[in-house]
Amino acid sequence: MAGRRVVVVGGGFGGLTAAKGLGRADVEVTLVDRQNFHLFQPLAYQVATGGLSPPEIAAPLRRILRRQQNTRVVLAEVSSFDLERHHVFLDRMPNGKEGASLEYDELVVAGGSAYSYFGHDEWAEHAPELKSLSGALELRTRILRAFEAAEVETDKAARRAWLTFVVVGAGPTGVEMAGQIGELARDALHRDFRNVDTRSARVLLVEAGPRVLGAFPEPLSHRAARALERLGVTVLVETTVVGVAAEEVSLRRPDGSTGGVPARTAIWAAGVNASPLAAALAAAVGRDVDRVGRLTVEPDLTLAGHPEVHAIGDMVVVSDGAGGTLRLPGVAPVAMQQGRYVARAIRGRSSGPFRYRDKGDLATIGRSRAVAVVKGVRLSGFPAWVIWLAVHITYLIGFENRLIVLTRWAFSYITRNRGARLIGQEEP
Amino acid sequence: MAGRRVVVVGGGFGGLTAAKGLGRADVEVTLVDRQNFHLFQPLAYQVATGGLSPPEIAAPLRRILRRQQNTRVVLAEVSSFDLERHHVFLDRMPNGKEGASLEYDELVVAGGSAYSYFGHDEWAEHAPELKSLSGALELRTRILRAFEAAEVETDKAARRAWLTFVVVGAGPTGVEMAGQIGELARDALHRDFRNVDTRSARVLLVEAGPRVLGAFPEPLSHRAARALERLGVTVLVETTVVGVAAEEVSLRRPDGSTGGVPARTAIWAAGVNASPLAAALAAAVGRDVDRVGRLTVEPDLTLAGHPEVHAIGDMVVVSDGAGGTLRLPGVAPVAMQQGRYVARAIRGRSSGPFRYRDKGDLATIGRSRAVAVVKGVRLSGFPAWVIWLAVHITYLIGFENRLIVLTRWAFSYITRNRGARLIGQEEP
């Protein structure tokens, strides 16, 4: 078993946790990612609203793993797998050369997911997503530029469209994003502008389901919705987006009518699709992926017929071994627990099927407002917000970033400003 | 005099200081800039080497001026002037509309300068500059990616080219940049890589003149050169760049011979050209600009024949009123003193021609190393570095940014890491 080669694909929560779990094992680990950093995606929306800057929520993978002498990092994109010959093929190598590959004895694939536009990829141009750092930076520029445009716009209707923000999807990210835009307009910006009252900005939070934060207990959903409304957010449930254009978002209302809302800024935080790597693995064993591109793995997170291939995170669905599947949310704790499980398995310390320990659920709405379910206990308001804050600071990587993020949050709490309000030019 | 309209073009050191100097005057101020932030350009090189992140050295103009009720900010580019009718024409308005203009009673133009490639604009693609935030971010990506490329490169010569960095121009920015790359390679990165010894990186600092930091007294130049060499930087004086391509920089050596250095990363910190606004003003009064595009202004910083038009900063040369010109360096203190002078003049408190009070000169080479001339006293090493640090922290805008930059510097001093080592993707 000594010196087995483990290739880990993806430096997100799942892949990074797996790689770290192998630090003291007698294996050679290669972590491949197309980015040189691990992104703390749950705070990406704060980059989009100028509260935090990218390096504060993104830690270089090399830095995180530098003391782990059995581990190397390769910056590249994985293009395909040869499961028979145990090869991973790489693309977009930093030196521009082609045809590189890695051989493995054990493979961990943690490709994650990306937002899906329900088959309308043409909407992406008008409604950037919030899962990547580049999406968050693009949104920062659009949101801040919209207020600048409103400031110089003399036509009343046009100004209203610049001051209308449509957030699609009311999961935690959509709720947090809508709340942040509300605070930005009401608190951070309103004394900075002369011609326009930024507090008149409209934020529409559009959700196809019957309530915001559908994964939370109903009373907490209602509290979140009330908190959002106090921030000036209009919550539109049972409402579907049927079109996104540069100057308008078309909605289908609960009564079945459709109509357009003039809006120059739309933010996408709705459905996700699994990484194409899930389909690549599925195809290699003659299987299909599900409706959102996910691969079904065995109860021990391996690929059927390939005990040396592990797949984790929100690109997979886990079989319960009895014809059904586990119902796991697409969140960081699931990916991290799966990463830890797989590292143990590779170290030969497996014990039964993977089980998710649900430690709870958190979402913040804004300044001092959040909802939380912690070990079954429901919390809202300030106590939930303190827990939200503590959990996010704890899981951020690096003492320097924790200190800087705390500093930014403290200033933003006191001054109600957002410290990273830059409009990009070439950036992004 | 009441309610006169003052238009200030440019939110750099000169324009921002002028606008702030008019805060309590009985005038209406409009500050126009194509960016929504004031960039603390002297620290841009730290963004390029992953030491600081953009929001830490860039403060939103609106935020800086929010309590100044007589002042508004417009995000736009100035395309031209009509000096007879007192109009400034705007381009690239945030709402996409065209044909906007501003009327003024007093005009302050502070357009700054940009790096010039000595007529070889085709070099820009291969050697980004360090004056803008987008240039600094582009360089951050290229420098960090070069180390990633070296890590996966198996060909020895190709690897050497990836590990060769050519910095063109040995003024303060070039010296600081070369020193930072040296420290990055020797201290910050070397334990993070497995295949490549980052300490073998070569940094060439190319200077056409006879010594580095030509504006400093000769003994300090020599100390700076020695400090650079201790960081692994090779100083090439009396050497001219005659070509920059993707994989090679061509140099003419002091003996007249020319030859190419295989290098995948080049950084431009050499000559500057004045903003095209200088030529636009000169043309309006039938004058020429000088070799580097600068406009000559009267001893009171006004345009000849137009006492209501003030031009400041490194886009102008100041006439001494006796057929010659003042010799002023293109640095922030000159622009700031000129901005203050112009604000006083507009408030009717002018007193004689502009005079520059030279408070000294500073350049840092790296960790604990700097050179300084303060009121004629020459300093080097740790004392100069402490002064450098204090001055830069003092002139940064915003208490939050000061605290965060100090935090980053403290961590980087202790851990020798750079906290913002992100390789951009879409982010330029």
pLDDT tens by residue, B188-219: 999 999 999 999 999 999 999 999 999 999 99
Return the SS3 of A337.
helix
| Distance separating alpha carbons of residues A400 and B411, to the nearest angstrom | 7
ipTM of the complex: 0.93
- Determine if residue A411 is left, alpha or beta; phi over 0 gives left, psi from -120 to 50 gives alpha, anything else beta: alpha
CA atoms of A83 and A65, how far apart (whole Å): 27
Chain B residues within an 8 Å CB radius of A60: 192, 421-422
Radius of gyration of chain B (CA): 22
A285: left (phi over 0), alpha (psi -120 to 50) or beta: alpha
Residue of B nearest to A412 (CA): B400
Sort out which chain A residues have CB atoms less than 8 A from B31's CB and list them.
none
**What is the pLDDT, as a whole number, of residue A99?**
87
User: Given this model, what pLDDT does residue A43 score?
Assistant: 95
Backbone angles phi, psi at B404, to 5 degrees: -70, -40
Q: What is the pLDDT of residues B138-185, one digit of tens each?
A: 999 999 999 999 999 999 999 999 999 999 999 999 999 999 999 999
- Residue of chain A nearest B54, judged by CA positions: A53
**Which range is least confidently modeled, A8-17, B270-279, B413-422?**
B413-422
Per DSSP bridges, beta strands A71-75 and A27-33 are parallel
Q: In the 8-state DSSP scheme, what is residue A56?
A: G
How confident is chain A (428 residues) per 10-residue block, as mean pLDDT?
87 98 96 96 95 95 96 96 97 92 98 91 94 93 97 96 98 96 94 95 97 95 96 97 97 96 96 94 93 96 97 97 92 96 94 92 92 93 94 91 93 89 66
Per-residue b or e along A209-231, where b marks 16 or more CB atoms closer than 10 Å to that residue's CB: eebbbeebeeebbbbbbebbeeb
Q: Would you tell me how many other CB atoms lie within 10 Å of the CB of residue B68?
A: 16
What mean pLDDT is predicted for residues B30-53? 96
Work out the average pLDDT over B344-355. 92
Residues of B in contact with A50 (CB under 8 A): 55
Tell me the average pLDDT across B317-341.
95
The residue ranking higher by pLDDT, A320 or B2, is: A320
Query: Cα A410 to chain center, whole Å?
Result: 24
Radius of gyration from C-alpha coordinates of chain A:
22
Predicted TM-score (pTM) of the model is 0.94
Q: How far apart are CA A264 and CA B400, in angstroms?
A: 31
pLDDT at A217: 95
pLDDT at B398: 87
Q: What gap in Å lies between CA A360 and CA B247, rounded to an integer? A: 53
Q: Check CB contact under 8 Å for B191 and A425.
A: no
- pLDDT score at B425: 62
Contact call for residues B58 and B132 (beta carbons, < 8 A): no
Tokens of B271: 């000559």
Contacts of B191 in chain A (CB under 8 A): 66-67
> What are the φ/ψ torsions at residue B82 (nearest 5 degrees)?
-115, 95
Question: Has residue B351 got a pLDDT over 80?
Answer: no
Annotation says B176 is catalytic? yes
Burial of B1 (0-12, 13-18, 19+ CB in 10 A): exposed
For residue B52 the two structure tokens come to: 């600081």
Q: Is the pLDDT confidence value at B401 over 60?
A: yes
A133/B427 touch (CB, cutoff 8 Å), yes or no: yes
Cβ–Cβ below 8 Å for B192 and A401: no
What local confidence, expressed as pLDDT, does residue A88 receive? 97
**What is the average pLDDT value for chain B, to the nearest integer?**
94
From A56, A106, A176, A248, the catalytic residue: A176
pLDDT at residue B3, rounded to an integer:
84
- pLDDT attached to residue B157: 97
Q: Nearest chain B Cα to A95, which residue?
A: B149
The total of other beta-carbon atoms located within 10 Å of residue A420's CB is: 24
Q: Inspect the interface and report whether the beta carbons of A192 and B94 lie closer than 8 Å.
A: no
Q: Closest Cα of chain B to A317: distance in Å? A: 29
